[in-house]
Structure 1
Amino acid sequence: IEQVKVESETLRLLEIPKVGQYICQKGANYRKGEKLISKGVRLNANHIGLLASLNCVFVEVFTRAKVGILVSGNELLELGESAKNGANIYNTNGHLLVAKVLENGGIPKLYPILKDTKEQVEECVNLALSECDLILSSGGASVGDYDFIAAICKERENEMVFKGVKIKPGQHISYAHFGGKQFFGLPGFPNSTLVTFELFAKEILWRLNGGYFVPITLEILLQENVSKTDSRLEFRVCNVRNVGGKWKIDFEGKKDFQSAILNNFCPLDSAYNGLCVLDSAKSVGEMVRVILLI
């Protein structure tokens, strides 16, 4: 129709068509033996459309990992409870980790808040190990009198993969294979919990779900000086923006970089969250590596 002109009862060809032009050829979309979806890919809407075009009603998938979430502390209150004094804080980490597990394809199970007794913490750790594939514990991983997760890790030292990493925030993270199950002792401050989940636990959760997590990292030119005095490798939360087709970062609205400040990860505008990787102080014009958090 596009290449003809109607003249009374005659069609005049304006362009001579080529053989096969505008005709979908057999095998143009896919051919026999061609791989269309790789093992370990997390299915999204595009894959569903492709499977539907092939009339694939059933496909073999991995079972989603069950993730036990443990939080401990006499000062903790569950959401909806009334604070008794200024020392009480709400169960931020438990619900943060539930949401992160759901985002990454796992099935979370949030256990009741644990009091600071070794017997209760140990009993719940063993229960979670019997019911779940991966356990995320938040709090009790440092060196205080009530850090019973750290005490359990010390008692089961032969099952530890590592304890402590020279990073900021999150240096007190621990990772173990308890009875063949994956166990992370994450730090208790929300910022540290979130960063260590992103850097360590997320990869293990994806592997348990049969997939591979590949973080999005960018090399970005600094527009401002960045100070740093701590010797640890730092993952500093930043705003990541695409300005005129170029990636830029800034620290606008970031109150400071203490481990307890979670709202640094909740930008009020359209910026993305990122972790700026700092091994030393940086100056304007230097390139820094940024892990995009989306």
Structure 2
Amino acid sequence: MMAFISFDESMKILNSLQFNNHNTHKRYLLDCLGFVLAKDIHAFENSPAYETSAMDGYAFKHKDISLEKLYIKAINPAGKLIDECVNDGECIKTFTGSLMPKGADTLIPIELVSVEDNHIIINQSVKKGFSVRAVGEIYKKDEKLIAKGERVDFAQIGVMAGLNIVTPTVYTKPKVSILSTGSELLELGEEQTSISQIRSTNNYILEALICKYGGEPLAHGVVGDDKNAILEAFKKALHQSDIIVSTGGVSVGDFDFVKDVVHELGFEVLFKGVNIKPGQHIMVARMEDKFIVALAGFAYSATLTALLYLVPLMAKFQHFEYSFNIVEATLKSPFKKKSKKTEFWACDYRQIEGRFEVNFNSKKEGSSAILTNMLGDTAIFISEENDGDRDIGDVVKIMLL
């Protein structure tokens, strides 16, 4: 049996993992949401490439501002090229997004002039260059705009669309097989035939969590507490996925077979047992670039340890450095330390004037099966190994989800 290691030690092992290959592929731009870029995105031209109007108004030479009255020579719609240029004493009506006409260096908004007999009367002065978008205002040629390893969100999609990048190169999301073990578990919609049976929630939690945090889930359903059945299910999942995440069967009970199956499959156990609460029987194992993350069966415990271990591992497949969103908060209700372990408990939180406050008012005491403690405005309260009880007013650490 492997000795339990500290939470910090387990994170060092996870963070030090190196991969032989990172698979990439080209993908249609709008389908890249949530994927991680595999190449830097550079600007191949200035944007805008030419001086353009930022407002509807009249383009003119700023030195003529003192004339107070200018002749309207032409109209310059957006998307059109005009031959006329602005001479002394003249202006050209120019619209938002239009190229600035030759000879003009300033645009005065429509709201600041009045029109009389094909002339504008300047009612309010503006500075030179007003409402003119400079060349390269958005980005300059060869500027690196989006870095490799950045996750694609709406802003990245917009910038790449502006560069006419139809199919960016992204890292392939890891395929994650989900297996819930336990003869007592019922699938969604399955009829209960005994009071000893309970609904399986872990496989559905994990599928949602994998989708949210950048993986491709493969549901394998529930497997009973039979070693051969579990072994066959793992073998099938291995052929289809990069990671297998399982729940149940990792403790020391008579029917906890997952740990044995991991060894029979030839995986190297990176760690088995971490000094955390809940979820201490977490196991992470590796064979080449395939992984098994075996979690405890209770729902809150499985969810928490998936957030701590599975989510960062999925990020590594995409060359993405995942970091926990840990912030300081002021404690508004007392906390009683339960063990000499690093503890992670659901808490209520709110932000007031930029500062976080936490309490446990809506959270139930009990086992690590209480998934409903994750409902509402919930964060994870962190109590490190050597921490003790905490009082109202103490500054503590919480992990935002």
- Tell me the TM-score normalized by structure 2: 0.68
Conserved? CA contact 2:230–2:261, under 8 Å? no
CA distance in 1, matches of 2:119, 2:239: 80
Aligned to 2:259: 150
Aligned to 1:287: 395
Residue 22, structure 1, aligned to residue 139, structure 2: no
Q: How many residues align?
A: 289
For residues 66-105 of structure 1, the aligned pairs below 5 Å read 66-105=175-214
After superposition, what is the alpha-carbon deviation per residue over 1:53-79, rounded to whole angstroms, capped at 9, x for unaligned? 111112111112111011111111111
TM-aligned CA deviation for residue 153 of structure 1: 4.0
Larger radius of gyration: 2
CA distance in 1, matches of 2:115, 2:324: 58
CA distance in 2, matches of 1:159, 1:98: 25
Conserved? CA contact 2:333–2:360, under 8 Å? no
Aligned to 2:327: 218
Q: 1:239 to 1:285 in 2, by over 3 A?
A: same
CA distance in 1, matches of 2:365, 2:143: 52
Residue 276, structure 1, aligned to residue 385, structure 2: no
CA distance in 2, matches of 1:7, 1:245: 53
In the alignment, structure 1 segments of 5+ residues that lack a partner are: none
CA distance in 1, matches of 2:142, 2:164: 16
Q: Which among 182, 197, 203 is matched to residue 306 of structure 2?
A: 197
Q: What secondary structure does 1:113 align onto? A: strand
Conserved? CA contact 1:41–1:212, under 8 Å? no
Q: What secondary structure does 1:61 align onto? A: strand
- The one-letter code matched in structure 2 to 1:274 is A
TM-aligned CA deviation for residue 32 of structure 1: 1.5
CA distance in 1, matches of 2:202, 2:267: 28
CA distance in 1, matches of 2:310, 2:239: 19
In the alignment, structure 2 segments of 5+ residues that lack a partner are: 1-109
- The one-letter code matched in structure 1 to 2:400 is L
Q: 1:9 to 1:64 in 2, by over 3 A?
A: closer
Conserved? CA contact 2:185–2:200, under 8 Å? yes
CA distance in 2, matches of 1:119, 1:9: 90
Q: Cα RMSD over matched residues? A: 1.9
After superposition, what is the alpha-carbon deviation per residue over 1:81-107, rounded to whole angstroms, capped at 9, x for unaligned? 111222101111111111111111211
Shifted more, 75-84 versus 189-198: the winner is: 75-84
Conserved? CA contact 1:141–1:174, under 8 Å? yes
CA distance in 1, matches of 2:224, 2:354: 51
Q: Which among 188, 202, 209 is matched to residue 297 of structure 2?
A: 188
CA distance in 1, matches of 2:288, 2:120: 79
Aligned to 1:159: 268
Residue 135, structure 1, aligned to residue 240, structure 2: no
CA distance in 2, matches of 1:54, 1:158: 45
Q: What secondary structure does 1:242 align onto? A: strand
Shifted more, 275-284 versus 195-204: the winner is: 275-284
Q: What secondary structure does 1:150 align onto? A: helix
- The one-letter code matched in structure 2 to 1:277 is I
Residue 110, structure 1, aligned to residue 215, structure 2: no
CA distance in 2, matches of 1:254, 1:56: 48
Shifted more, 234-243 versus 245-254: the winner is: 245-254
After superposition, what is the alpha-carbon deviation per residue over 1:161-199, rounded to whole angstroms, capped at 9, x for unaligned? 111100011100000103530110111100110000111
- The one-letter code matched in structure 1 to 2:380 is L
After superposition, what is the alpha-carbon deviation per residue over 1:239-291, rounded to whole angstroms, capped at 9, x for unaligned? 11123443111112211152111000012xxx2x2101013211122111100
Q: Which among 15, 34, 38 is matched to residue 143 of structure 2?
A: 34
Identity of aligned residues (%): 35
Aligned to 2:112: 3
Conserved? CA contact 1:106–1:209, under 8 Å? no
TM-aligned CA deviation for residue 7 of structure 1: 6.7
TM-aligned CA deviation for residue 14 of structure 1: 4.3
Conserved? CA contact 2:245–2:292, under 8 Å? yes
Conserved? CA contact 2:186–2:200, under 8 Å? yes
TM-aligned CA deviation for residue 18 of structure 1: 3.3
Shifted more, 130-139 versus 114-123: the winner is: 114-123
CA distance in 2, matches of 1:9, 1:107: 64
Q: What secondary structure does 1:2 align onto? A: helix
After superposition, what is the alpha-carbon deviation per residue over 1:15-71, rounded to whole angstroms, capped at 9, x for unaligned? 544332211111111112211111122211111111111111121111121110111
- The one-letter code matched in structure 1 to 2:343 is E
CA distance in 2, matches of 1:9, 1:39: 54
CA distance in 2, matches of 1:178, 1:233: 28
